[in-house]
Amino acid sequence: MCTQTIILSQGHYAATHCNAIQRTATHCNTLSSLLSAPSGRIATHCNTLQHAATRCNTLQHAATCSNTMHHIAKHCNTLQHTATRCNTLQHTATRCNTLQHTATHCNTLQHTAAHCSTLQHTAAHCNTLQHTATHCNTRNILQHTATHCNTLEHT
């Protein structure tokens, strides 16, 4: 008689065994109909074999379902792994975009700092020129005053 353990652990062997039992049940029915005086024992034996064949078919179906479920579970695990990898890549892309934004901002600040340094240098140079101009103006005023004084002295 077929058992679920045989089907689940040794699928191919169990299928062969079930087919053999089915053939035996068919053969038994043929012999039973050929006998002119059917014996109760033969009929009971044939019924037992038919019942075993039906049970084998049920177990074969269960084994097929089990294999299908195993295949689906394996496929599901693959999809789950792919989804996890995708989430990781998405996180990395987001982080990269943030770093890119920060780098752009940093470049802008660097450019502004360079421009500011140039303006500071220009302002310092301007102050020097202003001081020199003031000094020159003072000198011109003094010179003008001296000339004026000389003119007054000679008059």
User: pLDDT tens-digit profile of 28-83?
Assistant: 666 555 554 455 666 676 677 778 777 777 877 777 877 788 888 888 889 899 99
3-state secondary structure of 3: coil
The answer to whether the beta carbons of residues 21 and 56 sit under 8 Å apart is yes
Burial class of 32 by CB neighbour count within 10 A (0 to 12, 13 to 18, 19+): middle
Considering its fold, how many domains does the chain have in total? 1
Query: Is residue 127 over pLDDT 50?
Result: yes
Query: Is residue 25 over pLDDT 90?
Result: no
**Residue 140 to residue 125: CA distance in whole angstroms:** 22
Q: Which domain holds residue 145?
A: 4-154
How many residues does this entry show for the chain? Answer: 155
Q: State percent of the chain over pLDDT 90.
A: 26
The whole-number pLDDT of residue 41 equals 65
Q: What is the pTM of this model?
A: 0.41
The whole-number pLDDT of residue 18 equals 64
The whole-number pLDDT of residue 37 equals 45
Q: At what angle do helices 11-34 and 40-154 cross, to 10 degrees?
A: 150
Lowest mean pLDDT across 15-24, 45-54, 57-66, 103-112: 15-24
**Residue 124 to residue 136: CA distance in whole angstroms:** 18
The whole-number pLDDT of residue 43 equals 67
Pick 89 or 51 by higher pLDDT.
89
